[in-house]
Amino acid sequence: MSETARPILSLHNVGKIYESKGGSIEALRGARMEVAKGEFVCLLGASGCGKSTLLRIVAGFETATSGEALMWGVPITGPDPSRGMVFQDYGLFPWLTVRQNIGFGPASRGRPAREIKETVDHFMDLVGLGRFADVYPHQLSGGMKQRVAIARVLANEAEVVLMDEPFGALDALTRERLQDELLELWERTRLTVLFVTHAIEEAIVLSGRVIVMSPGPGRIDTDLTVGLQRPRDVSAPDFNDLRRELAAKLHSHHAKVAA
């Protein structure tokens, strides 16, 4: 089967149970999902619904208790550069410059110095950081740090970018600007993006599909295609119809948990 005919990511009945001295906690139950190459998919849900757990299983940072997660039909058994993770807290090395942070992956894999420079220059320009090559993370704004984190993943030859509420710690204006930049980057590269958020508007603005997760234990409740034209107008009636539909689902989940 060709790569275009099969999903790049597949989850088959994935569950996750955490064991502790106080007993077992079931974080995820029976998750089934497929993501095609080049899709931008948002995982939407309240805190504690298993979004980050699912993302970490796809990243290979955690192992499913049941079921399996696959990339190109091959079981995911651990981290791999083909699946790059972008965290809310950036995860940059403070002792490295922007250039060194972005080039860390290729350098650690023994790529030639000239190739590393060309790769880093390309992705620094792609995210608009060419003037900041020799700056350290503590000298950057939050938005610029997140651009470095995204460029570092791309420079490491990721096919899938996994983003765990990457803009959650940013102010509203910076968040909106980075959403626009991420969409522009996605449209230029057609990377596969799996993006975790608890913000309904962010999910609709960014994604081609919104997968709604319900808590206790986390399950995939709804898989909704976003058929709105880009760029999306948050004040448009069809945008707000979809926002209300998703809000109603999340509120129903909250009501069930509270009951």
What local confidence, expressed as pLDDT, does residue 87 receive? 84
Mean pLDDT of the chain: 89
Q: Lowest-confidence range among 32-36, 100-104, 171-175, 200-204?
A: 171-175
Give the pLDDT mean for 87-101: 89
259 band by pLDDT with thresholds 50, 70 and 90: very low
pLDDT at 1: 40
Instruction: Please state the pTM of the whole predicted model.
Output: 0.90
How many angstroms separate the Cα of 245 from the Cα of each of 33, 201, 251?
21, 12, 10
Whether the predicted pLDDT of 255 surpasses 60: no
Q: Is the pLDDT of residue 3 over 70?
A: no
Average pLDDT over residues 234-254: 88
DSSP class per residue in the chain: --GGGS-SEEEEEEEEEEEETTEEEEEEEEEEEEE-TT-EEEEE--TTSSHHHHHHHHHTSS--SEEEEEETTEE--S--TTEEEEETT----TTS-HHHHHTHHHHHTT--HHHHHHHHHHHHHHTT-GGGTT--GGGS-HHHHHHHHHHHHHHTT-SEEEEESTTTTS-HHHHHHHHHHHHHHHHHH--EEEEEES-HHHHHHH-SEEEEEETTTBEEEEEEE--PPSSP-TTSHHHHHHHHHHHHHHHHHHHHHH-
The per-residue pLDDT for 10 is 96
pLDDT at position 256, please?
58
Q: How confident is the model at residue 108 (pLDDT cuts 50, 70, 90)?
A: confident
Q: Whose structure tokens read 């995982």?
A: 43
Residue 62: pLDDT band with limits 50, 70, 90? very high
The whole-number pLDDT of residue 189 equals 85
